Structure 1
Amino acid sequence: MNEIALPDLTVLNVLLAFMMFGVALTLRAEDFRRVLRAPLAPAAGLVAQFLLLPAGTCLATYLLDIDPELALGMILVASCPGGTFSNALTWLGRGNVAVSVSMTAVSSLAATVLTPLNFALYGSLNPRTRELMTDIDVDRVNLLLLVLLVLGLPMLAGSMIGSRFPRFAGRSEKPLRLTSVLVFLAFVAIAFGNNLDLFLDQFHTFFWLVVAHNAFALVLGWAIARGLRLPVSDRRAVTLEVGIQNSGLGLVIGFTFFPELGGVLLIAAFWGVWHLVAGLTLAQVWSRRPLPADDPFVLAAPEVRS
């Protein structure tokens, strides 16, 4: 596939770190204590997100003989943590927002180790993507450091500042969320803009790959939550958390380590657009379906029925 024009990586890394800092301003220690008090739903989502999704993606890309660059992009996205947009979509879909927030918090912290580990592992298990991993010689230590710098440290700083200065966090939340959306769209625009010919040439291929991959993630989250007989509100939260990935992190990793692999960036960029379309559609459908009257989320907050 074609090479891409490399953007300023320092700017991209700083922008993603800024996004994660803004997200973490609203995180509190209570979000993590909530997981300890009721661990089943978050644990189910994390197993689906960090074990079943990347493993299933690796197997599917091998069995379906998917183009190595596109396959590597799918494995990269599957290795990323849940995206913060899942919290808003869970709220819109009348899901358990507390479960969604706690899963986002824990998965983002876990991703500082599990994202580099999963990507290196599953990228090497598929023989076709293994050749790419060998050719580009990914430095696993640098990959781990990158994730720590743009994900772990900004989240730690944001949560500490948000706890110490709650009024500042409250005033900053909406502007930072808007900025985060604009930053993400800028990532997508760079990826598509530098790969327009490749985008047009491969659209019929990667479009359906992303749609199917995202559907698999959503179904996987729903299936594991239903299999564990979680309340409907928890199922919705787990489903959206697994199906909404932090593809912005995937793009930064791609820009940093795979500047010559346009297929990887196209998958990550289009994933970032499509999962919002699919997630918003699903949330709108669920918003029209009231939760069962005995659902714990309804009993705790009866207004969600309206």
Structure 2
Amino acid sequence: MNRQRIQGFCWGLVGLLAIAATVFSLRSSWAIACPLWIVAWLASALAFLFSSGRQTFAFTSFVLASVTASLSYPELFGSWFGIDLSTLIVPLIQVIMFGMGTTLCVADFARVLKMPRPVMIGVCLQYLIMPLSGFLLASVLNVEAEIAAGVILIGSCPGGVASNLMCYIAKADVALSVTMTAVSTILSPVLTPLMMTVLASQYVEIDFVGMMLGICNMIIVPIAAGLIANRLLDTKIARWNRPIPLVMALLVSLAGALFAVWLGASRLGPLHSGLLVGFSMIALVVLTKLLVNVILGSQDDWMNRVLPIVSMAGICYIIAIITARSSEDLLQVGVVLVLVAVIQNVAGYLFGYGGARILGLDEHSSRTVAFEVGMQNGGMASGLAINSLGSAKAAIAPAIFGPLMNVSGSVLASWWARRLGSDGEHIDQKEMST
């Protein structure tokens, strides 16, 4: 069965399930309607996966399936075998950030020396436009204090890796996007707590140092570990294609993981969980490379195929846990928060692009800044809401913002690619001549 037939079958199934789910929903037969909606969203995700150029929408469908399941069966997302599932949120975010680190290299950070002006403009716009827009929206709409803090929090976080993909689709400057993501993330331990202290302290108590250490533990340390893994995976470096150096790296990373366990047990290290996940992931990557690439002799690019799936599953899990714990609040303020998320997201695109153009950046760089400003690291915001603010309500806004920004980003990227992609070279040449 080819891709078109699978896609057609999935869309047909989606149509039938949606009709049946709507009928049972109108009759308030939720015991039947809810499972139908869940399966319908899953089927739409599969349809998007088999649709050329629309794979980015599959993530949103998976998220909507997770949200529907958590709202319908919140008890399934509370605890398993006596373990509170919310305790796994931070480790999952650390794994996701490790995956982000494997896509980066030292050159991505060093590139800021070659293009300091656009990077500085983009980062400044990001940490001004999004936090301020969140603060203004929360104030004007008079939302509940903890939820207002979550709206400001998602605006105060750095850009996420999704912006890099959108820049590629939109024919923007991907290298600049990656560098901006890296730089804004490195600056986040200071700038995110700073903006939260200035704008959100009237809503919730902000522990500046605690949030800074939390960001380092949850974001910076795993990304640093990912950078190391990226180096170890580089097939161009001869030593990392031989078994003995890989075995030594495996032993060192296992020793590092044991050291992190000791730090946690002795309560001497606030970064112990980040170190534990980082060293453990490095050990897993090295072991996998040793088995797959060295012993079996395969050159399969398994990392780039596995980590996106892990990241997508992890984000869906995090959103489901947050939604289940805030289901009553979400049903009450969901419409308002969707409106806030849409306005904040669109404001990021508009003011990011417009600000970049006013400050003299070219078309491709301005598109890049628009995506970097408008698309935030929702996973980081969710983790900080739970871990630093201790509020499931504050995590609702990031949970809503994440799927919406992926949909809007995909639409904007496709529109830009169609409208300006064909004459992109002409635009560059014209601007260079001026």
Q: Compute the TM-score of the two structures, normalised by the length of structure 1.
A: 0.86
Q: 2:226 aligns with which of 135, 158, 167?
A: 158
**In 1, are the aligned partners of 2:159 and 2:373 still within 8 Å (CA)?**
yes
**For each residue in 1:69-121, what CA deviation from the matched residue of structure 2 results, as whole angstroms up to 9, or x when unmatched?**
33211101011110111111110111110011111111111112211222122
What secondary structure, in the 3-state scheme, does the structure 1 residue paired with 2:131 have? helix
Are residues 1:140 and 2:211 paired? no
Structure 1 segment 1-306 matched on structure 2, within 5 A: 7-124=84-201, 130=202, 132-134=203-205, 138-167=206-235, 171-262=302-393, 264-289=394-419, 290=421, 291-296=423-428
**In 1, are the aligned partners of 2:189 and 2:211 still within 8 Å (CA)?**
no
* Equivalent residue letter for 1:286: W
Which region of structure 1 is more displaced relative to structure 2, 161-170 or 15-24? Answer: 161-170
Aligned residues: CA RMSD: 2.5
Larger gyration radius, structure 1 or structure 2:
2
Q: Distance in 2 between matches of 1:57 and 1:115?
A: 13
Q: Distance in 2 between matches of 1:8 and 1:250?
A: 18
**In 2, are the aligned partners of 1:9 and 1:256 still within 8 Å (CA)?**
no
Q: Distance in 2 between matches of 1:100 and 1:294?
A: 21
* Equivalent residue letter for 1:31: D
Relative contact order, higher structure (CA 8 A, sep 6+)? 1
Offset of residue 237 of structure 1: 1.0
Q: Distance in 1 between matches of 2:390 and 2:185?
A: 25
Q: Which residue of 1 aligns with 2:252?
A: none
Q: Distance in 2 between matches of 1:170 and 1:157?
A: 19
Q: Distance in 1 between matches of 2:391 and 2:359?
A: 43
Stretches of structure 2 lacking an aligned partner (at least 5 in a row)? 1-76, 236-288, 290-299
Q: Give the number of aligned pairs.
A: 287
Measured at CA, do residues 229 and 116 of structure 1 come closer, stay the same or move farther in structure 2, by a change above 3 Å? same
Q: Distance in 2 between matches of 1:181 and 1:28?
A: 22
Q: State the identity as a percent.
A: 28
What secondary structure, in the 3-state scheme, does the structure 2 residue paired with 1:280 have? helix
What secondary structure, in the 3-state scheme, does the structure 1 residue paired with 2:204 have? helix
- Structure 1 residue ranges (4+ consecutive) displaced by more than 6 angstroms after TM superposition: none
**In 2, are the aligned partners of 1:23 and 1:177 still within 8 Å (CA)?**
no
* Equivalent residue letter for 1:212: I
**In 2, are the aligned partners of 1:25 and 1:161 still within 8 Å (CA)?**
yes
Q: Distance in 2 between matches of 1:75 and 1:147?
A: 16
Offset of residue 229 of structure 1: 2.8
**For each residue in 1:280-301, what CA deviation from the matched residue of structure 2 results, as whole angstroms up to 9, or x when unmatched?**
11011112122433444999xx
Stretches of structure 1 lacking an aligned partner (at least 5 in a row)? 125-129, 300-306
**For each residue in 1:246-291, what CA deviation from the matched residue of structure 2 results, as whole angstroms up to 9, or x when unmatched?**
01111111122444552x2221100011111110110111121224
Measured at CA, do residues 185 and 30 of structure 1 come closer, stay the same or move farther in structure 2, by a change above 3 Å? same
